[in-house]
């Protein structure tokens, strides 16, 4: 079992399989000039599977595949197939922009990988295209509806961006009126590859909730698991639910159960922390299994207690892009 230095059990790995993406969401990366990792700096699918196996043997029982856009890796399904057979791994989920997932929906279903988080930061086409800097609205919208109607457990992530998409917060709730889906409103974090610096946000979770309350005064809170980062609500008569994720306010750090490994092998014990170390070359060395276990234990044994504590120590945090961290 992996227990950190604050006595928290770490059982959830967020594994980034690439830093590349076919969209250019403006809160995540700059429009141009992105320094993507060369192929030899990314794990192969076999390395990702072996790394997962080692971590599952240590007590990880939930893995979320993220990126960049995971489905830009043409061999992603090979990894997912291997994960789906891994004993001790109870929950496999994917975070995606839903542009490429369409052709894999049947196979995902067959593997029983039904937990899919989709980023969609606007219901208005023009706003969506402005934020993502690409013309993929119909594909994303259609794939979301298809995933929902085919029985996937879909959660839509919407980042509240001052001056960009907050008029879409209430219209997004129409989705949960008609579909059994969860829409989660996230606070913006300063990980955009240095294209925008800020140390406060206009739309924190309290403001998002107050805004929703004006239109839906009778919403009520739902029970959520202790380690959940979202606070979840239901509006009477609506099929789905909504939530807020205080990712900038960081109210949930106390029960954090996560470990992140970036697309290039950085081991990250907190989103706001400097990577503890890089595991890529260790994975490629002899006797890698024992060395990986040792390094992971070391990283987990010196975690910051909260994102605020981590940020204090790591002043370079704002230069990172979420496309390499994985969100």
Q: Is 25 in the site for ligand SF4 (CB under 6 A)?
A: yes
Which of ligand SF4, ligand SAM, none has residue 262 at its interface (CB below 5 to 8 Å by kind)?
Answer: none
Q: Tell me if 61 sits within 8 A of 5, measured CB to CB.
A: no
Q: Per rule CB under 6 A, is residue 189 in the interface with ligand SAM?
A: yes
Contact (Cβ atoms closer than 8 angstroms) between residue 183 and residue 172: yes
Tell me the C-alpha distance between 157 and 145, whole Å: 15
Degrees, nearest 5: CA angle 33-36-41: 155
157 touches ligand SF4 by CB under 6 A: no
Chain centroid to Cα 245, Å, comes to 12
Binding ligand SF4 (rule: CB under 6 A), the pick from 17, 51, 67, 262 is 67
| 29 touches ligand SF4 (CB under 6 A) | yes
Helix, strand, coil percentages for the chain (3-state, nearest 5): 35, 20, 45
Q: Which of 4, 53, 69, 168 binds ligand SF4 (CB under 6 A)?
A: 69
141: partner contacted, choices ligand SF4, ligand SAM, none (Cβ within 5-8 A by kind): none
Which of 17, 60 has the CB closer to ligand SAM? 17
Answer yes or no whether residue 24 interacts with ligand SF4 by CB under 6 A. yes
CB 256 within 8 A of CB 274: no
Q: Which helix (H) or strand (E) holds 276?
A: none
Q: Which positions from 249 to 288 touch ligand SF4 by CB under 6 A, shown as an x/- string? A: ----------------------------------------
**Minimal CB distance to ligand SAM: which residue?**
327
Q: CA-to-CA distance for 295 and 108, rounded, in angstroms?
A: 32
- Contact residues toward ligand SF4 (CB under 6 A) are 21, 23-25, 28-29, 67-69, 97, 119, 322-323
């Amino acid at each position: 079992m992996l227990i950190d230095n604050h006595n928290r059990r770490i059982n959830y790995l967020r594994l980034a399989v690439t830093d590349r993406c076919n969209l250019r969401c403006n809160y995540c990366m700059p429009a141009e000039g992105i320094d993507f990792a060369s192929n030899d700096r990314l794990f192969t699918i076999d390395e990702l599977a072996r790394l997962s196996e080692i971590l599952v043997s240590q007590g990880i029982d939930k893995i979320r595949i993220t990126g960049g856009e995971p489905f830009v890796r043409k061999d992603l399904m090979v990894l997912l197939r291997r994960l789906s057979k891994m004993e001790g791994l109870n929950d496999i989920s994917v975070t995606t922009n839903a542009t490429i997932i369409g052709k894999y929906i049947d196979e995902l279903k067959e593997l029983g990988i039904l937990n899919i988080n989709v980023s969609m930061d606007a219901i208005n086409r023009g706003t969506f295209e402005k934020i993502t800097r690409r013309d993929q609205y119909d594909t994303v919208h259609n794939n979301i509806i298809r995933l929902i109607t085919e029985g996937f457990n879909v959660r839509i992530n919407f980042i509240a961006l001052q001056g960009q998409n907050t008029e879409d917060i209430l219209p997004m709730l129409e989705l949960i009126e008609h579909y059994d889906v969860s829409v989660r409103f996230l606070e913006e974090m300063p990980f955009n590859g240095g294209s925008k610096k800020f140390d406060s946000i206009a739309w924190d979770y309290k403001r998002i909730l107050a805004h929703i309350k004006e239109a839906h005064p009778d919403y009520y809170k739902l029970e959520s698991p202790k380690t959940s980062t979202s606070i979840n609500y239901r509006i009477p008569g609506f099929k789905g639910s909504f939530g807020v994720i205080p990712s900038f306010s960081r109210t949930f750090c106390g029960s954090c159960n996560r470990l992140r490994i970036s697309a290039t092998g950085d081991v990250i014990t907190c989103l706001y922390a400097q990577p503890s170390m890089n595991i890529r070359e260790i994975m490629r060395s002899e006797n890698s299994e024992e060395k990986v276990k040792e390094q992971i234990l070391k990283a987990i044994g010196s975690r910051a207690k909260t994102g605020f504590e981590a940020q204090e120590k790591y002043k370079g945090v704002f230069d990172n892009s979420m496309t390499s961290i994985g969100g």
